[in-house]
Structure 1
Amino acid sequence: MELSTQSRIPDHVPASLVIEGHPWQGGDVPPHDWLERIAARGGLRYALHGPLPQDDDAGCWIATEAKAIRSILIDHRNFVSRDSTGVGKLLGEDLVLAPLESDAPNHQALRAILQPWFQPAAVKARQERIDALSRDLIERFADRGHCEFVSEFAIRLPTQIFVELMGLPVDDLPQLLEWEYIAMGRKGAHLLAETWLKIRSYMDEAIADRRNAPRDDLLSQIIRSTDARAVDPEGEALGMALILFAAGLDTVVTALGWHFMHLAEHQDEQARLRREPDLIPAAIEELLRLYSFTTLTRMAVRDVEIDGVLIKAGERVVCPTALGSRDPADYVEPGQSDFDRGARRHLAFGFGQHICIGMHLARLELIGAMRAWLAAVPQFRMPKGYRPPWHGGISFGLDELRLEWEPAKNMQEATCGVDE
């Protein structure tokens, strides 16, 4: 290990726990595989690079086992969520992207503002719209026999639902998606601050517009509720708008990419879902487990010892859900798919009080998308020799996914037993 590298390792960190190389950029190695290499020895490891592109050279601890990840995510006394996205620092202000970055005593009150919009009954009312939009998108390319799945379907479905939920202009979606791609660090760190400032300005204008003319949308509800709290109406409304932007334009998009790549690679499982459409919800749950992709971050506020390893106050601890959801202590053959597994203990949506508030909507979109796709598109695959490009970081996913199939002569041939 070079001297410059050694100088970046805190004195209390054993050299045996330090990870060589960059754990968030695996090059030609698929991201789930390169993280599993880190987890092979178990316990906590120390990385010289963080998952946030703006903090690439900031060291951090990595929890590699589900038990440790759960204990950290639920320990709000010793580990806080503040500034876990790093957006406030990028903007140069004391901004909390609530509820993700909020801690006690404000967290529950801020989360409660959004909760009614994301309860199962509330999101169920959007199922018809999700189903109709899915069918409309698929009709545009089903007869063609091929598509680029990410840009032609995965991006368009959940982001359309997001802008409708927030009450943002649909015509703004292309610009929002361009900003999101940069904001998630996929073009490097040099454009992050500039892009987040643009997003902030956009949301400031949208919030000002709602204050002048409230509507029946989520953004208007956020403004009404934060005004009623009278704690920090401007900051809280902006923080919520920004975290919904990041999650609404990324999470389901990324999950769809991994899930459909899997079905393209596993023809037998794809065929089974066509024969047994009632299995789709269970399959989605297993794919969420197998392809968990977010890395959650916490900051230690006091010295803590976990499994004999000392984490000092002020040090960052990251919890890759990909490792927690593939822990062999929780699952037999965790790297293999099993639609009969009944996997409900996975960490795809996080754990504890910060568990993803949009998980019910995400599930509904994923199930609706797969049902509509299998009902309209025949058995699909990736082109021979093709490997979809992927990106690492705080949320790792596919940059594109090329799929192809033999166009069905009629709808009966395409469905192969899938109920619409």
Structure 2
Amino acid sequence: MSRMTPNILDKVPAHVPPSLVVKENPWHSGTAPPHDWLRQVAGDSGFRYSPYNPLPQDHDDGCWIAVGAKEMRAVLIDNRNFISKGSTGVGKLIGEDLVLAPLESDAPDHQRLRSVVQPFFQPKVVKARQERIRALAMELIGEISRHDRCEFIREFAIKLPTQIFLEIMGLPVADLPQFLEWEDTAMGRNGPDDLAETWTKIRTYLDEAIEMRRQTPRDDLLSEVVRGTEAMGRAPKAEALGMAMILFAAGLDTVVTALGWHFKHLAEHPDDQERLRRDPALIPAAVDEMLRAFSFTTLTRTAVRDIDVCGVSIKAGDRVVCPSTLGSRDSHDYINPDRVDFDRGSLRHLAFGFGQHICIGMHLARLELVTAIECWLATMPQFRMPDGYQPPWHGGISFGLDALELQW
């Protein structure tokens, strides 16, 4: 664990009560699983203040942590007092006035830009991709089933959702190894040193791909981003680039991460695994419960004016982060929140965010997760982790597994 030094304590603003300061780095957990560590050091409700930021490029800039679901929803729905602009820090990092929309856009631009990509992620459109997702899942499982073990992240979790995403986006699957290398650095998993250079490479690659779509449009999401932003006539080049960059980052990370946590749980809990084998109709509810229990993303907002929220005075310019894992394990919202219970019923978890910025790809993510589990349980024997094995994980802006060894 990383304890605070006097120099870091000196960075805590004067308006932050000392009692609210988190004493350890909440984003990097050492030996404890990141979900458990964050909850252990941040608590269960209210607001806390950390001298550390989950964004790797802003690591030493402090931030408020909205700990409870109530506090998180209050921040995420308040678009007047808390803005999304600059929440990824990418524009500042590469020295450009670039908005990674719709994630970083605010009203009235947010809904305008979201409408460009929304049609690609409507439930009916997503449902039409189910057979392609199932076919790819079965192809990957067919290769894995020739052996009695696999490294799940590399051999399945990365390949399924990223290939589907690249097909939707219209980017070449052959470039996936390069994309994944960039993604690891861009998400801060390789340290802060090459962040700016890597995001600049992503920017250059996507800028060239966008220009190709301007010259020769195709039937893909990237072409629609180009068409939609040009039709609006505001700042089409910058808006198309910003949208492409956030789609790229999210499309290569989110479902990969969720698959890792879900299959780790099933590998550790053979009773849950066997129950889903006997009753596949329960899989959608199980996926939603595991999304709740293993929420992994952190959203960032900036206060634009002094405001009191849930009894805490937040000043203009303060960063507020909303870790979905805390909101989704709030004991005020859930009985035994750390327990995975497939019978919870209707859920109001925060795995996909909350308010106007709720994840645009959530229907696709759910479908991929449900389909992956259906295919595995219908095809593969009961699987587990090797005795004594502890999968490596990472913290930061997104909590994920670096590897997951399974055997059967």
Normalising to structure 1: TM-score of the pair?
Answer: 0.95
Question: For the residues of structure 2 that align with 1:299 and 1:341, how far apart are their CA atoms?
Answer: 34
Shift of 1:307: 2.2
Q: Which residue of 2 aligns with 1:262?
A: 265
Match of 1:212 among 211, 215, 223: 215
1:348 aligns to 2:354 (yes or no): no
Correspondent of 2:306 among 303, 323, 326: 303
Paired letter, 2:179: L
User: C-alpha deviations, 1:32-53, integer Å up to 9, x for none?
Assistant: 1011113436311000000000
1:149 is matched with: 152
- 1:17 is aligned, of 20, 41, 62, to 20
Q: Tell me how large the CA RMSD over aligned residues is.
A: 0.9
Selected match of 1:174 from 177, 188, 191: 177
Separation in 1, partners of 2:324, 2:298: 6
The CA distance in 2 between the partners of 1:295 and 1:169, in whole Å, is: 29
| Counterpart selection for 1:192 from 190, 195, 198 | 195
Which segments of 5 or more consecutive residues in structure 1 lack a partner in the other structure?
A: 406-420
Hey, what does 1:239 align to over in structure 2? Answer: 242
- Whole-Å Cα distance in 2 between the matches of residues 41 and 86 of structure 1? 28
Partner deviation per Cα, 1:33-77 (whole Å, 9 max, x = no partner): 011113436311000000000000000000100001001000000
* Deviating more after overlay: 383-392 vs 32-41: 32-41
Aligned pairs for 1:70-81 (under 5 A) are 70-81=73-84
- Which 10-residue stretch deviates more, 220-229 or 335-344? 335-344
TM-score normalised to structure 2 length: 0.98
1:154 counterpart letter in structure 2: A
Aligned to 1:416: none
| Aligned residue number for residue 88 of structure 1 | 91
In 2, distance between residues paired with 1:275 and 1:41? 36
Aligned with residue 388 of structure 1, among 378, 387, 391: 391
Is the 1:39–1:65 Cα contact (8 Å) retained in structure 2? no
Match of 1:164 in 2: 167
Alignment size in residue pairs = 405
Identical columns (%): 67
**2:324 alignment partner AA:** T
> How much has 1:21 moved relative to structure 2?
1.8
Give the drift of 1:105. 1.2
Is the CA contact 2:45–2:330 (under 8 Å) kept in the aligned structure 1?
Answer: no
Counterpart position of 2:64? 61
Which residue of the partner structure matches residue 292 of structure 1?
Answer: 295
Structure 1 segment 320-335 matched on structure 2, within 5 A: 320-335=323-338
SS of residue matched to 1:189: coil
Q: 1:74 & 1:121 partners in 2: Cα distance?
A: 27
Looking at structure 1, the residues matched to 197 and 77 of structure 2 have their Cα atoms a distance apart, in angstroms, of: 34
- Give how far 1:2 is off: 5.0
Listed one character per residue, the Cα deviations across residues 101-150 of structure 1 (whole Å, up to 9, x for unaligned) are: 00011010100111100000011110000000000001111130100000
* Counterpart contact for 2:24–2:41, Cα < 8 Å: no
